[in-house]
Amino acid sequence: MAMTLDQVLSGLRAAGEETRLRLLALCGRGELTVTELVSILGLSQPRVSRHLKVLCDSGLLERVREGAWVFYRLSHRGEAGALAQAVTDLLPDDDPALARDRERQGEIARARAEAAQAYFRANAAQWDALRRLHVDDAAVEQGLLEMLPPQSVTDLLDVGTGTGRVLTLYAPSIREGLGVDLSREMLAVARANLDAADAQNCRVRHGDMYALPCADRSHDAITLHQVLHFSEYPASVVRDCARVLRPGGRLVIVDLAPHELEDLREHHQHRRLGLRSEEVTEWCDDAGLILEQTRDLPGTPLTVRLWLARKPATDAPSSESTPIPRTEEPAA
């Protein structure tokens, strides 16, 4: 629905102040906390918070709480998002104040990257050990891109986003990407990677894969990349993905085929030793999804398997109902 004249005037009044224009420019380049914005602008926190409230009340900025932190970003939805983008597009790149702000924002991005690298160094051994067990990551990513071509995706949800790699793969082609993960440490890594890729159309959120922080029918594509073998209740995950998918939308599951490497359960927290195609089919059927394609990428000794499921163009009411209780039998 188009904005009313009063709403347009309200948005322009909210933007019509130097500090608020600087805030719009900064938040248009990536998600930032109040603390980071205070550091960049060199202003007091109460003053910055007042300006942020005005911009959020007008719809020009989005405010999202993540635990004790709150992130701000330029609105990308609806008429208010279009107005916010139009205002930032008018800002001159050579303005000295905006140039200084960009430089300080770059310093914050570099600090995020250094923290991410430290986290990778601390955990690299276990990740490298896992990668050596299956087909090369590049082959898996190519298989994903072939099964879910980027040009066919508008709004992507990546559940269990981890490092944000799937988002960076799709960012150049999609309108908007959202990554959800329960690990705050991994979200910090993902934000650093999105900064490095200049993926301004992608964001990440702290959230539970059993209760995704997304509205019904809000995305046309969802990816579950090496996620479900960690899940105690994978059917519930697939069902909530079906809730979030638009009619005709697609879900791609990338995971391990069944194997017998007990070490992955004992030392890497794998809840399931791979996924059987029969159980994936059952989860999709229960969620009202149609399994359309399966593809194997053999490795040594692990095989990566990809499943493509689609939500019917006219979805059944059951796929929009409350998530099913978690009553599945524990994995052996």
What is the C-alpha to C-alpha distance for residues 111 and 117, in angstroms, rounded to an integer? 10
Q: What CATH architecture does domain 125-320 belong to?
A: 3-Layer(aba) Sandwich (3.40)
pLDDT in tens, 114-130: 876 676 567 756 765 66
The confidence score (pLDDT) of residue 136 equals 87
The confidence score (pLDDT) of residue 300 equals 85
Radius of gyration of the chain (CA): 21
Tokens for 300, please give them: 């040594």
Report the SS3 class of residue 41. helix
End-to-end CA distance of the chain: 51
Amino acid 104 reads R
Could you give the residue ranges of the DSSP H alpha helices within 205-261? 234-244
What is each CA distance from 162 to 158, 169, 183, 212, 227, in whole angstroms? 9, 13, 8, 15, 9
Sheet strand arrangement including 32-33: 32-33, 69-74, 61-66
The confidence score (pLDDT) of residue 286 equals 92
Residue with tokens 């809730």: 243
Domain 5-91 matches domain 125-320 at the CATH topology level: no
Kindly indicate the confidence band of residue 326, based on its pLDDT and cuts at 50, 70 and 90: very low
Domain spans of the chain, in order of start: 5-91, 125-320
pLDDT in tens, 251-295: 999 999 998 888 887 777 777 889 999 999 999 999 999 999 999
Tokens for 211, please give them: 């209760």
pLDDT in tens, 137-162: 899 999 999 999 999 999 999 999 98
Class for the domain spanning 5-91: mainly alpha
The confidence score (pLDDT) of residue 325 equals 38
The enclosing H or E element of 177 equals strand 176-181
Kindly indicate the confidence band of residue 321, based on its pLDDT and cuts at 50, 70 and 90: very low
Tokens for 63, please give them: 């405010």
The confidence score (pLDDT) of residue 317 equals 46
pTM of the model: 0.74
Residue 310 burial class via C-beta count within 10 angstroms: exposed 0-12, middle 13-18, buried 19 and up: middle
Report the SS3 class of residue 299. coil
